[in-house]
Amino acid sequence: MANFLKQAASNMLGSDKNLDAKISGRGFGEGTMRFPMDLGDNGRPIIHFTCEPTAQDEKMESIFFPIPQGVTYGDGASYTTFDVGLIGEFAKVISANSDANIGDAALNMARQAQKMVTTELEAVGGLGATIIASKKLGFDNIATGLEFANKQVMNPRTNSAFSGNTIRNFQFDFKMIGKSDKEVKMIDSIQETFRRFVYAEKLNKTSSFMLRYPPKWVIRFVDPQQNELKYMPKIYSCYLTAVNTVINPSSNTFRREDLSPYEIDMSLQFQETKILTRDEFVNLEENGNRDNEQDAAFESLIQKTKDAGQLGVDVFKKTLSNATDSKKE
């Protein structure tokens, strides 16, 4: 992956002459784009966006900017709550008898559980026992009314339960003001390229039944030699979920020569392609590994599905052909 990305960016620090053909007109497939045009000359850290092609005949897009201000990471986990109730007390009983043999353990647990329940009911009194019994019998309204009237509640013994990590989202904001005709054309190509690859496309030109996913993006923070920065957290492969473009946000000014807008603000929103496990997170941070281990399995499944589908088509064609031949006879 690292060599693949470096090859994609091999022209980034090339001469302007090498870029002339790439920005000669509005369109896509430029290969390498950058803003500002002198990005490689000032030694600043760079953010490198690589759009991975979804079809073999597509060119890979590689776009470079200075690292924007305020890069934000949101690592999180989701938790729900559940009420243990009396189960927590029974768990203590089970744990205390876990080393005994099965027969003795079952007998001891039954005795201790009975004693525990009796002690608890005696401690809370008749009203408390009524509330507990109402809840256990399913009379929740009665139990709630008794709790409210006497300002007592059954201890729910609420615990937190881990339900999964959250998927990470990223936003990058750029302001682009062209200082030359080349930069104006470059800005136009950059914003059109990002906007284009938000959308899915038809799987083939003759049918609209199926759509191909928008492409994945790889986002790297690098130095001018394309080495990933040590002190910037890394980002896994992403989908581009939104591109928000504002034309002339400061003033309604257009250039006299070609009526191009004076400035363009662009906000890019990305979402990682999967929720990471801790192992994947560590592998990403330490090794820059953005390869999804499940991709190979899915690719194998896709190939087998294609083979099965083609077999079905062949059988259908053969059956149809035999039926046609029978009618002719």
Same domain, 188 and 272: yes
Convert the pLDDT of each residue in 256-291 to its tens digit.
989 999 999 999 999 999 999 999 999 999 999 998
Same domain, 200 and 67: yes
Same domain, 62 and 22: yes
Nearest to 86 by CA among 148, 147, 139, 154: 154
Rounded distance between C-alpha atoms, residue 20 and residue 277, angstroms: 44
Same domain, 275 and 296: no
Q: Is the pTM of this model over 0.85?
A: no
Same domain, 99 and 66: no
* Total tally of structural domains belonging to the chain: 3
Same domain, 274 and 199: yes
Same domain, 195 and 276: yes
Confidence of residue 33 (pLDDT cuts 50, 70, 90): very high
Q: How far is CA 104 from the centre of its chain?
A: 52
Same domain, 57 and 173: yes
Q: Are strands 46-51 and 216-222 parallel, antiparallel or unpaired?
A: antiparallel
Same domain, 97 and 64: no
Nearest to 64 by CA among 107, 35, 25: 35
Nearest to 25 by CA among 153, 167, 188: 188
Convert the pLDDT of each residue in 227-263 to its tens digit.
999 999 999 999 999 999 999 999 999 999 899 999 9
Q: Are strands 77-83 and 158-165 parallel, antiparallel or unpaired?
A: antiparallel
Domain that holds residue 315: 292-329
Same domain, 172 and 272: yes
Same domain, 261 and 196: yes
Same domain, 27 and 65: yes
| Residue 123 and residue 155 in contact, taking contact as beta carbons nearer than 8 Å | no
